[in-house]
Structure 1
Amino acid sequence: MPELPEMETYKLLLQPLIGGQAVTGATINREKSINIPAEQFTSLVTNQKIKGIERRAKYLVFRLQNGSCLLLHLMLGGRMFFGKEEDRPDRTVQVQLSFENHHLYFTGLRLGYLHLLSLEMIQQEFQHIGPEPLDQHFSFHTFENILKDRKGGLKTTLLNQEVIAGIGNRYSDEILWHAQLLPERKINELDHDDLVRLYKSIQYILQQGIQQGGYMEEPLFKGDLKTGGYDMYVHSHEGENCRRCHSTIVMKEISSRKAYFCQSCQH
């Protein structure tokens, strides 16, 4: 599932491609991927300019000139591709937004969706999401206060979108490896130095993920050399050598989620 770095990468790459451009048409092949009847959806988005693209947690918000918004959550398996008809991805397209002779294809939306909502409805959708970890106001003091009364395990806490926004299964492993903390370690067991390392690792890993274009290998457009440049340190590397201490990376299920870590240098 795309996480904060992947969605931020999509946002940064899409902005110069469709920002300020008018939607010239929409094709809905799977009505469950949208929230209103297909004809109504198409009518309401056609001829609307994309005023801006924002990211919140793992969501993208496409702001339209009439004040309404398209809320995108790709969920598991969701992808986007931007190009001409001849570049159309060899996958089932659930929703397509057209911009003259270029199209934004949404594929793999079995669980994901593209909903047309008012700004007020968007704000309601986001009311229970925690703070953005890369926001300038997300200080160590803020981070410390968020965690001070929590007693759960580190990985499950990082995955909780009501605690911190945008971190999922992959980057939680990367963050904990970088901070040298085990995924089942309890929040209330951490000392000040542990919390400082964890805070700095959240910042570092997510920024590195964005700078390197996230982990998703499929390009956003033909000639895209940015998307998919991030190479995971531990996630999905079970049985391989840890890059830091060269011990073997292991995998364990924690709360029905796969966690990858090094038993030697994570404590």
Structure 2
Amino acid sequence: MPELPEMETYRNLLARIVVGQKILEVQVQREKTVNVPVDEFISKVQNSTITAVNRRAKHLLFHLDNGYTLLLHLMLDGWMFYGTEEEKPDRSTQVVLTFGTNSLYFIGLRLGYLHLLDEKQLQDRLSDYGPEPFDPRLDEERFHHLLKRRRAVLKPTLVDQKILAGIGNCYADEFCFHAGILPYRKTADLTEADTTRLLHAMRFILNDGMRHGGYMEFPLYAGDTLTGGYNDQCRVYDRGGEPCLQCGQPIVQEELASRKVFYCTHCQH
């Protein structure tokens, strides 16, 4: 599932491409992808202009000049492509926004969605999310108390969107490894030194993920060489049984709270 670096990569690229563009045509090819009747969705989105593209947690927010926002969640298999019909990958699309010769194709939204919300609906939908990892108010002391008060296992706590917004399986494993902390540690047992190290590791890894374009498999547009560049940077995630790049010991793959988890027992304690 795309996490903060993937959605930030999309946000940065799309902000340069679609902001200020008028949506000339809307196609909805899967009714369940949207939250209102298709005719209503089309009538409110078509002929509107995208004024900004923002991110909150794992969502993208396409703000329209008529006061509505398109709230996107890609879930497990979703992705996007911007370009012409001829350039578009041979995949089924659920929603298409056309700006002229180019369109933004929403692909693989089997579980994902693109919802049309007014301002109040948007605020209500996002109200339960925890702080963003780069929130300047999330200092070392607040982060320590945020984790300690849960009295739970570390990795499920890190990926709980009500505690921290935007973190998922991949990056949680990566910054636990970078901090040298096992993902199944109890949060109540973490020292201030542990949580400080984890906070700095989290921000370092997320910045690195964004710098390399996240791990999305498909480019956003023809000639996009940024998206997906983090695939080869992962130190532990999805590397079960392979040698640790630091010590050579095999990376452990297990399940923790119904999620895959990857770690090195030599480098993490």
TM-score by length of 1: 0.98
Q: Secondary structure at the match of 1:86?
A: coil
Moved over 3 A (4+): none
1:78 aligns with 2:78: yes
Aligned-residue offset at 1:98: 0.6
CA contact (8 A) 1:215 1:232 kept: no
Please point out which of 214, 234, 257 is paired with 1:232: 234
For 2:236 and 2:90, locate their aligned partners in 1 and report how far apart those are by CA, in whole Å.
Answer: 30
The equivalent residue for 1:245 is 247
For 2:183 and 2:255, locate their aligned partners in 1 and report how far apart those are by CA, in whole Å.
Answer: 10
For 1:148 and 1:201, locate their aligned partners in 2 and report how far apart those are by CA, in whole Å.
Answer: 17
Q: How high is the sequence identity, in percent, across the aligned residues? A: 49
Alignment of 1:1-267 (within 5 A): 1-230=1-230, 231-267=233-269
Gaps of 5+ in 2: none
Aligned residue type for 1:186: K
For 2:175 and 2:123, locate their aligned partners in 1 and report how far apart those are by CA, in whole Å.
Answer: 29
Deviations 1:87-108 (A, max 9, x none): 1111110111111110000011
Deviations 1:2-50 (A, max 9, x none): 0000000000000010001011111111000001111211111111110
For 1:263 and 1:144, locate their aligned partners in 2 and report how far apart those are by CA, in whole Å.
Answer: 24
TM-score by length of 2: 0.97
Aligned-residue offset at 1:233: 1.1
CA contact (8 A) 2:83 2:221 kept: yes
Gaps of 5+ in 1: none
Q: CA RMSD in A?
A: 0.8
Aligned residue type for 1:262: C
Aligned residue type for 2:241: G
For 2:180 and 2:82, locate their aligned partners in 1 and report how far apart those are by CA, in whole Å.
Answer: 39
CA contact (8 A) 1:213 1:229 kept: yes
For 1:156 and 1:256, locate their aligned partners in 2 and report how far apart those are by CA, in whole Å.
Answer: 9
